[in-house]
Amino acid sequence: MLPGAKAKHEAEVAAAEGRYQEECRQHALRRAHRIESWRRAYEAHNARNTELAGQAERHNAEIDAFRREFEAGDPDAVVSYFDMVLQASTYPDPFPRRYRLAYFPESTQLVLEHQLPDLSVIPTVKAYKYVKTKDEVTSTVRPPSQIRALYASIVAQL
């Protein structure tokens, strides 16, 4: 009804159509960029998985070869295996960790020379008791027979 309203409306529609087309183009560019990023991430993921699978296969092949050598009685493999077992063992701090291994394939014997702890690893105090009347702590000494028995138990457990 207003003069020039139709032309103004058509100009606004054309401008809006232009903005819409530009936004569609920008969206398509963002989408293409996002898809490309996903593709690169996917390829990097697959490459990393392939690399890790190869490392796992090589590691497993080394373990299988080590196992075959051990089962065949290869002296180096036997000594290496038992050395790994002894290194993985946990002991309290005062215990010595020195040992030597030798394997004799002729007799299939493993010889282990292990330094044992001395009697000092056994506490000489059996118990502590608080005496309230004197406000002091007294200790009970462990008998020598008990110290020897505990030491023998430790050596047997080692």
Predicted pLDDT of residue 97: 83
Predicted pLDDT of residue 39: 97
Regions in the chain scoring below 50 on pLDDT: none
For 95, residues 6+ apart whose C-beta sits below 8 A from its C-beta are 117, 121
Amino acid identity for residue 53 in this structure: A
CA quadruple 119, 123, 126, 131: dihedral sign: positive
- pLDDT tens-place string over residues 28-54: 999 999 999 999 999 999 999 999 999
Residue with tokens 């047997």: 156
Predicted pLDDT of residue 1: 64
Give the number of other CB atoms < 10 A from CB of residue 1.
Answer: 4
Amino acid identity for residue 143 in this structure: P
Distance CA 29, CA 35 (A): 10
